[in-house]
Every structure is written in C-alpha cells, then in structure tokens.
Amino acid sequence: MGSQEVLGQAARLASSGLLLQVMFRLITFVLNAFILRFLSKEIIGVVNVRLTLLYSTTIFLAREAFRRACLSGGTQRDWRQTLNLLWLTVPLGVLWSLFLGWIWLQLLEVPDPNVVSHYGTGVVLFGFSAVVELLGEPFWVMAHAHMFVKLKVIAESLSIILRSLLIAFLVLWLPHWGLFIFSLAQLFYTAVLVLCYVIYFAKLLSSPESAKQQTLPVSRITDLLPNITRSGAFINWKEAKLTWSFFKQSFLKQILTEGERYVMTFLNVLNFGDQGVYDIVNNLGSLVARLIFQPIEESFYIFFAKVLEREKGTTLQKQEDVTMAAVVLESLLKLALLAGLTITVFGFAYSQLALDIYGGTMLSSGSGPVLLRFYCLYVLLLAINGVTECFTFAAMTKEEVDRYNFTMLALSSSFLVLSYLLTRWCGSVGFILANCFNMGIRITQSLRFIHHYYQGSPHRPLAGLLLSPVLLGVFALSGGITGISEVFLCCERGWLARLAHIVVGAFCLGVTLGTAFLTETKLIHFLRTQLSVPRLNDKMT
C-alpha cells in the first residue's frame, strides 16, 4: 500500500470518526445532562473517580503496550503470532483486576453506605467489565491495522448511548440501587462493545462476496482465536520485546493521564462531592479533545507507523514517504494549534454559561467555572501534545523508547508531588495546573525529537506551530470582546441576555474562522485534498 493511499485512509478514518463521534456524543451529552439532575455529587465522585479509575487502570495496563506494539509496522506479518500475543491481554487483565480490586476494597477509604450504597459490588463488577472488554482486543487491533472506517466509532458510540439510556432508566425507577446501577451499566457497555466487533467480523468473514474482496489475513472467525501450532513460535518475540518497552512507558503514561484521580483516591485531598464536581468539569472540558483530537491522534499514529521505518533515519528511507510524513505533521500541528487556541479563547468567556446549561447551579455556582476556564488552556496543550506524541511514538526506535521511559519516570514523580502541593495550595484547580506543567514538558520532549529527526533533511514540520500575526490579533480581539460580553450579559441577567452573549460569541467565532481560512492557505489546501481523497478500499459503508 502506497503512502498516499495510507494517508487517504487515515484522513477518512479521522474525518468520518469525527463526524460520527460528534453525532453520538451530542446524544450522550443530552442524556448525561438529564442524569446529573437526579444524582448527588458524592455518587458522581465515587463512580467517575474511584470506580472508573479501577476500570481504566486495569484496561490501560493490560492492553496499551500491546496495542502500540502490534499496530507498528505494516499488515504483512505473521498474524497468527500477533493474535496470540494480543490474547495475552486477557489473563494479564484478570491479574490486574484482582490485584487492584483488592486494593480498592481493603486499602482505600470506603464511602459511607448511607450516602453511597453497594460499593463492594461496584468494585467487583467494574473490574470484571475490564476483563470482558479485553476479550475484544484482537478484533480491535485487526480492525485498526486494516483501517476499517467507522467500525470503532459506531461500536463505542452505540455502547455509550445504550449505557446512558440504561443508567437514565434505572436512576428514575430504581434510585435506591445506588452504585449497582452504574456497575450493571458498565458491564453492559463492555459486553455490547465486544459484541459489535465480534458480530462485524463474523458477518464479514462469512459473506462470500466480502471474502473475495477483503484482504484480511484470516478466513474464519475462529482464526482470530489463540492458535497453538507445533511449527513456529507461539508469539513474535520482536513484538513481545517492543511490547515490554511500551509497557514500561504505558505504566508511567497512565500515572500522567490519570494522575489527579490517583492523588484524589490515595491521598484524600478532596472529599467525594468535590471529586464529583471536578470530574464533571474535567469530562466536559475534555469533550472536544475526545471528539476532535483523539480520532486524529489514533488515525495518524497508524499512518506514521506504516509510512516511517523505526530503525532508519530520514536519509535511509524513501524520500517520498519522509516528505509526506513531514507535510502531514506540519498540517496536523497547525490544525491542533488552531483548534486549541479557539477553545482556549472562547472557552474563557463561556465556561459559566456552559456549566449552567449542562448541570444547573450545582456546577455553575461553585468552583466549576474557574475549573473549566483553566481546563480550556489545558486543552490547547492536549491538542499539541496529541499530535507530537503521535508522531514521536510511531518514529522512535526501541532504544529511544527505553530512554524516553526514564524521562517519563521523572515526569510522573514530579507530577504527583506537584499535584499534591498545588491542590493543597489552591484546591482542585491545582490538578489542572499540574497537568499543564507536565503536558508542557512532554511537548518539549516530543518537539526535541521531531527537530532532531528532521535535522538532516530540508523539511521543517515544526513550522506548523507558527501563526500569522493577523490571525493572532483576531484571536486576542475576540477574547477581549467575548470577555466584556460575559461581564455585561451573562449569566444572571435572564435568557435574553444569555442569547445576546451567545450571538456575540458566534460573530467573533465566525470572524476568527474566516481569518484563519484566508491566512492559513496551506492548511486549507491539505484539508481539502485529504478529505476529498477517492474512497479506496472503504471497508465499512
């Protein structure tokens, strides 16, 4: 598969994923806004911080390293060995869920059963749901390696919507079930998610027409199960060693990704109610990051991993592929910077209004607006970091990955200490400030790698982080106008004043986007050409 074709498929995967996620996330957004009005802050804190941390930690430690290792390189490999390696995530997940479940039940503070009931059942079911989700890992990797457009988004979004509907129904009819409601819903979510992948592959592989057209390395659904043969190794040891390198890095990355939840859970710097408010703001603030940046990062990580060869410098690879990777990286950096700046500038003036609409006075009257304003700045750093690490992890050699682990170790330690100190000093905002600091360090490390990687070539992809002075001026002017509008029109002056505030923001946003369209012509050309790439081998219609 040529690099242009890989780029086209990656661009379609990201764009189609973005559109579908926007549609499904809007539905989930409305359902969650409804559910929030029937729950206490304490239940939200235990579910969204304590139990979700158990689930995400188990999942991350069991599969993240396997995903990165098995998605590196092309599809031409011994997939029997790769699938065998992926199935090891299941017993690994069982071990992690048992170990972490014991910690959650025996070593951590147990919530008051009169306020939050069925905590022990919640721990067991959340841990079990993580193991259930790992059963679909070979199907997930196979789908992503062959770029099955829309499958991931449809499966995840459908599962999330059904989970939210189940929670809404149970909260209305059986509110006394407490955490048992969310535990059942989480198990239901993972079961539906895995079934979507299994059913899709079963239908694809059983269809005679699809079997003739598809290029999968398997012909039956049973070929995706563990396969022990007398000839050949059970797993690819090169992939296994790369997995171990990524595992050490993944362990540290998990601390950075979920660091504030670990500090909240193990150091008790916030009560369960404050944890609930923080987590709601965190989820709302990261909504755009999940909608826009995550599909781009996942899709173009596959593109960079397929186009670039890990063990070779730029001079030893196909110059056409090196050039294309540089052009794509520069455009993605520009896109991430523009999106992040837009969220930061306009999010500052519309944080309180957004929280009031989403969760009512429970969110908009306390520390919520301040948290969301700081989080908008963090989203800018998230956007840039997603693109830079997407390229860095795809291009690093095994030795460079190992060296990077030492940096991540120091970063993880400093992050935990900084989170604790800043939270003691300025409350829950300290978590966001600590995240900004550490995200800045990670971006710096990735920028150094990218600069060094292209140092011997004529390409300078880091130019994507430069904006025209005119556009920067428009951003500054829009921030000032919307800030003044918030003071005089929002948010205790009635719905007409709020509507006027929204109109002012929409006008400033239109001017800003129009200026970006006129000044960033190179990015606009990239988006036009890649989003209009002919639909080559679209495997999911």
Output the pLDDT for position 17: 52
Question: What pLDDT score does 436 carry?
Answer: 92
pLDDT in tens, 149-160: 678 878 888 898
Whether 123 contacts 205, CB under 8 Å = no
Nearest to 5 by CA among 541, 533, 391, 532: 533
**Does the pLDDT of residue 4 top 70, yes or no?**
no
Short-list 461, 394, 422, CA closest to 71:
394
What digits encode the pLDDT tens for the residues 355-386?
888 877 777 777 788 999 999 999 999 999 98
Closest CA to 222 of 202, 242, 239: 202
- 502 or 406: which leads in pLDDT: 502
Percent with pLDDT over 70 in the chain: 87
Higher-pLDDT residue of 291, 112: 112
| In contact, 109 and 268? CB cutoff 8 Å | yes
Confidence tier at 196 by pLDDT (50, 70, 90): very high
CA–CA separation, 7 and 13 (whole Å): 10
Q: Which two tokens stand for residue 372?
A: 């969301």
Is residue 491 reached through a cis peptide bond, with omega within 30 degrees of 0 on the bond before it? yes
* Average of per-residue pLDDT across 298-324: 77
pLDDT range class, residue 388, cuts 50, 70, 90:
very high
CB-CB contact of 253 with 408 (8 Å) = yes
Helix (H) or strand (E) holding 241: helix 237-257
Mean pLDDT lowest among 99-113, 160-174, 397-411: 397-411
Contact 159, 196 (CB under 8 A): yes
Q: Residue 534: its pLDDT value, please? A: 38
The reported pTM is 0.72
The pLDDT tens digits of the residues spanning 517-540 come to 999 998 898 888 765 443 333 433
* Statement: residue 351 has pLDDT above 70: yes
Q: What are the tokens at 77?
A: 């490999």
Whether residue 367 contacts residue 428, with contact meaning beta carbons closer than 8 Å, is answered with yes
Report residue 121 as tokens. Answer: 């059942």
Region 409-431: what's the mean pLDDT? Answer: 84
Rg of the chain (C-alpha set): 23
